[in-house]
Amino acid sequence: MTPLPALSPRRRRTDLLARAVLATFTAVALIPLVLIVYYLLHKGLPAISGHFFSSDPTGNFLGDAGGIKSAILGTLELVALATAMAVPIGIGVALYLVEYGRDNLFGNAVRYFVDVLTGVPSIVFGLFIYVTLVVSGALGSSFAGWKGSAALALLMLPVVTRSAEVVLLLVPDSLREAALALGSPRWRVVFRIVLPTALPGLVTGALLAVARAAGETAPLLFTATLVNGTTFNPGDKMNSLPAQIFSDVGQAQNRLVTRAWGAALTLVLMILILTLIARTLARRSRIT
């Protein structure tokens, strides 16, 4: 029996070592996730109670610190308003890029700038709104919920546009052509064929953008700022979960810190649920 050329032990060792290193690094990458989940639950659950969700932060130094009602409601309002601003515009821009702007100068310029926008830090969006809307005291008071929403909308816009463009491009051109060949005007093709076909993907993209916006603090710091009471008037300053957490972390009091953990847990759960819905929706309907 004539043996095969032997594999040098050094190569075998290198191979095993490299594989072990790669696997270890992957495990290391997951450690923060595990730790964060653990501490969120460990420190956040004790804060959860009916009172926690039903009362506003009191801002008192002593006594009852209050819950996070205004923060939750504020986040819901701010993000809802931001979504209403960003999603139609974002999808509109994406529609332009796909239907009319695939290969001309204007379309390419817009595409480039949307790309640029994806890389802008979120605090700069807050600054954008601050220097234009807040400082000038547009429409009444300087700080207002809707201005915070505007900052969030700026943040969401490139995300929505980018993902919408990808999804719209996936709608086969043959569908468009078939409809046009039947004598349908372009706008009908867009609204009756293209958008409905792309709808699940568009919703997914929007949901992911919403999840991202819900967690943002920086854009709100000097637009909607922080306030204790619940308000439904977008013209007022408005509280939000991220801003509330940020504020509580800075204080050196245990019960505030506990509240911060509870609020963090709530926020992360909200984002997780949104992300999960988005992902399930994406998986359920693939445009082939």
Partner 1 sequence: MSSDAPVPSAHDSPVTVDPPDMTPRPGPAPPRVAHRAPRARAVDPSAAERGRQVRLSGLSAYYGAKAAVKNLHLDFAANQVTAIIGPSGCGKSTMVRCINRMHEEIPSARVEGSVSLDEFDLYAPGVDVVAVRRAIGMVFQRPNPFPTMSIYDNVAAGPRLSGGARDQMGERVELALRDAGLWEEVKDRLAEPGIGLSGGQQQRLCIARALAVDPEVILMDEPCSALDPVATLKVEELLDELKRRVTIVLVTHNMQQAARVADTTAFLLAGELVEVGPTERMFTTPGDSRTEDYVTGKFG
Partner 2 sequence: MEAGALATRDVPPSIGGASRARHGDQALRVILMGLAGLILALIVFFLIFLVLKAHPAFARFGVFGFTFDNNWDVAHAIYGALPLLVGTLITSAIALIIGVPVAVATALYLTELCPRRARGPLTVLVELLAAVPSVVYGLWGVFVLIPNLKPAEQWFADTFSFIPFIGGGKVAGPNYFIAGLILAIMILPIVSAISREVTATVPSEDKEAALALGATRWEMIRMAVLPYARPGIVGGAMLGLGRAIGETIAVTLVIGNQPQIGKHLFDQGYTLAAVIANEFGEAANDKLHTGALIAAGLVLFVLTLVVNAIARAIVRRGQHGRRPVPAQATAVAVQ
* Interacting residues with partner 1 between 1 and 40 (CB under 8 A): 1-8, 10-12
In the list partner 2, partner 1, none, the entry touching 89 (Cβ below 5 to 8 angstroms by class) is: partner 2
Asked if residue 254 binds partner 1 (CB under 8 A), the reply is: no
Kindly tell me which of 76 and 169 has the beta carbon lying closer to partner 2: 169
- For residues 158 and 119, the answer to whether their CB atoms sit within 8 Å is no
In the list partner 2, partner 1, none, the entry touching 222 (Cβ below 5 to 8 angstroms by class) is: partner 2
Q: How far is the CB of 18 from partner 1 (least distance, A)?
A: 14
Q: How far is the CB of 234 from partner 2 (least distance, A)?
A: 20
Kindly tell me which of 9 and 63 has the beta carbon lying closer to partner 1: 9
Please report where in the chains the tokens 């009602």 appear, as a residue.
69
Kindly tell me which of 15 and 115 has the beta carbon lying closer to partner 1: 15
CA end-to-end span of the chain, whole Å?
Answer: 54
In the list partner 1, partner 2, none, the entry touching 67 (Cβ below 5 to 8 angstroms by class) is: none
Q: How far is the CB of 14 from partner 1 (least distance, A)?
A: 11
Kindly tell me which of 73 and 93 has the beta carbon lying closer to partner 2: 93
Of 234, 205, 212, give the one whose Cα is nearest residue 77. 234
The dihedrals phi and psi of 239, each to the nearest 5 degrees, come to: -80, 165
Q: How far is the CB of 218 from partner 2 (least distance, A)?
A: 4
The span from the CA of 194 to the CA of 94, in Å, is 12
Alpha carbon separation from 264 to 29, 44, 129, 133, 153 (Å, rounded):
22, 7, 26, 29, 22
Q: How far is the CB of 9 from partner 1 (least distance, A)?
A: 11
Crossing angle of helices 145-170 and 122-129, in 10° steps, is 130
Q: How far is the CB of 176 from partner 2 (least distance, A)?
A: 12
Token digits of residue 215: 């967690």
In the list partner 2, partner 1, none, the entry touching 1 (Cβ below 5 to 8 angstroms by class) is: partner 1
Residue 80: count other Cβ atoms within 10 Å of its Cβ: 13
The span from the CA of 12 to the CA of 153, in Å, is 54
In the list partner 1, partner 2, none, the entry touching 48 (Cβ below 5 to 8 angstroms by class) is: none
Kindly tell me which of 15 and 64 has the beta carbon lying closer to partner 2: 15
The span from the CA of 134 to the CA of 222, in Å, is 8
In the list partner 1, partner 2, none, the entry touching 8 (Cβ below 5 to 8 angstroms by class) is: partner 1
Task: By CB under 8 A, name the binding residues for partner 1.
Answer: 1-8, 10-12
